[in-house]
C-alpha cells in the first residue's frame, strides 16, 4: 500500500479521521442543545473542568459549539464537492463526447462561470435566495463545477476514439449510454483528484459566508463562532482563535490527504 507509506497522506488522513470521528460522535458527546446556556458568560478556557474551552458571551459551551460546528463544515465540504463533481462531470462528458455546437455552448457557459470568483458567486446567490444549508452547498458548487468540467472534457476527448467506444457505436448503443456508461467511468479518476481542493475551498467559503452572517442560522458554524468572537476580540480572543484553529486544521488535513494521494499515484505510475 503506497498510500500508507506516504507521510503526507498519513498525517492528512489522521487529521480528517479525527475530525470525522468528532463530527459523527457530536450527538453522543454533547447531547444537549449546543446553543443552550451552560455556565457563566465569558468563562476562560481551562478554568472549569466541565467547560474545558470556556464559554462565549452568552454562557454557551465553546467545546460543544466547536464539535457541532465540525458537522456543518464537513457536511458542507463533502456535499459541495460531490455536487460540483457531478455537475462538472456531466457537462464535461456531454461537451467532450458529443462535440460540435453543444461543446461550444457548454464551454462558453463554463468560461462565463469561471470569470466570476467563486466566493462572490456564492455570496450573491445566498444573498438573493436566502441562507440555508442546501442553498449554501449549491452556491459553493456553482463556483466549483468548472474545474471538474474542463478536466472531464479533456479526458473524454482522449477516450472517445478508443476501440471499445468504436465497438459500442458499431453495435448501435445510444450515444448518451456510451458517454455515461462506457466513457465517463474511465474519465473519472482525474476528476476525483480535484475533490480535495474543492472540499478545502468549500469549507473556507462556508466559513466566510457564516462570518458575514449568510450561513444557515439554525446551525452552528465555525465561521459564525469567529464572527461572534470578533466583537469582543480584545477581551476574549479565544472565542475566535479556537474555531480558527479548527478551520485551519480541517483545510490542512484535506490538503495533505490530497497531496498524499497524488504522490502515491505518481509513485505507482513510476513503478509501472
pLDDT reported for residue 5? 65
pLDDT reported for residue 167? 87
- Would the CA dihedral through 127, 135, 148, 144 be positive or negative? positive
pLDDT reported for residue 4? 58
Give the pLDDT confidence of 53-87 residue by residue, as tens digits.
999 988 999 999 999 999 998 899 899 999 999 99
Least confident of 5-14, 100-109, 164-173: 5-14
Give me the half-sphere count of Cα atoms (radius 13 Å) on the Cβ side of residue 27: 2
C-alpha dihedral, 178 to 179 to 181 to 183, nearest 10° = 100
Radius of gyration of the chain (CA): 22
Q: Indicate the domain borders of the chain.
A: 7-41+73-271
Give the other-Cβ count within 10 Å of 27's Cβ. Answer: 12
Show Cβ contacts of residue 217 under 8 Å, excluding neighbours closer than 6 positions.
131
| Per-residue H/E/C for 44-82 | CCCCCCCCCCCECCCCEEHHHHHHHHHHHHHHHHHHHHH
Q: Span 189-209, mean pLDDT? A: 89
pLDDT reported for residue 240? 93
Q: Is the pLDDT at 189 greater than 80, yes or no? A: yes
266 falls in which pLDDT band (50, 70, 90)? low
pLDDT reported for residue 120? 92
pLDDT reported for residue 2? 56
Q: Which residues pair with 60 in a beta bridge?
A: 37
pTM here is 0.87
270 falls in which pLDDT band (50, 70, 90)? low
CATH code of the domain made up of 7-41+73-271: 1.10.3720.10
pLDDT reported for residue 33? 87
Q: Span 129-135, mean pLDDT? A: 91
Q: Is the pLDDT at 190 greater than 90, yes or no? A: no
The Cα 162–Cα 155 span in angstroms is: 12
**What distance lies between CA 97 and its chain's CA centroid?**
28
Amino acid at each position: 500500500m503506497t498510500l500508507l507509506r506516504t507521510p503526507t497522506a498519513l498525517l492528512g488522513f489522521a487529521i480528517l479521521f479525527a475530525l470525522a470521528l468528532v463530527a459523527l460522535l457530536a450527538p453522543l458527546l454533547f447531547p444537549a442543545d449546543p446553543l443552550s446556556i451552560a455556565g457563566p458568560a465569558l468563562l476562560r478556557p481551562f478554568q472549569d473542568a466541565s467547560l474545558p474551552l470556556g464559554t462565549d458571551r452568552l454562557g454557551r459551551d465553546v467545546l460543544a459549539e466547536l464539535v457541532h460546528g465540525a458537522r456543518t463544515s464537513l457536511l458542507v465540504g463533502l456535499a459541495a464537492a460531490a455536487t460540483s463533481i457531478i455537475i462538472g462531470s456531466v457537462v464535461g462528458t456531454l461537451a467532450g463526447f458529443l462535440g460540435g455546437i453543444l461543446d461550444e455552448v457548454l464551454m462558453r457557459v463554463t468560461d462565463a462561470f469561471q470569470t466570476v470568483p467563486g466566493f462572490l458567486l456564492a455570496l450573491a446567490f445566498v444573498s438573493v435566495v436566502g441562507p440555508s444549508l442546501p442553498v449554501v452547498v449549491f452556491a459553493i458548487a456553482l463556483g466549483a463545477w468548472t474545474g471538474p468540467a474542463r478536466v472531464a472534457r479533456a479526458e473524454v476527448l482522449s477516450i472517445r476514439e478508443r476501440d471499445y467506444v468504436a465497438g459500442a457505436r458499431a453495435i448501435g448503443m445510444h450515444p448518451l449510454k456510451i458517454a455515461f456508461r462506457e466513457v465517463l467511468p474511465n474519465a473519472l479518476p482525474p476528476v476525483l483528484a480535484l475533490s480535495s481542493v474543492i472540499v478545502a475551498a468549500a469549507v473556507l467559503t462556508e466559513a466566510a459566508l457564516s462570518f458575514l452572517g449568510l450561513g444557515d442560522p439554525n446551525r452552528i458554524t465555525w465561521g459564525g463562532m469567529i464572527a461572534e468572537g470578533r466583537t469582543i476580540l480584545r477581551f476574549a480572543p479565544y472565542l475566535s482563535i479556537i474555531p480558527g484553529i479548527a478551520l485551519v486544521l480541517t483545510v490542512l488535513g484535506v490538503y495533505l490527504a490530497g497531496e498524499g494521494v497524488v504522490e502515491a499515484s505518481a509513485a505507482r505510475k513510476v513503478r509501472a
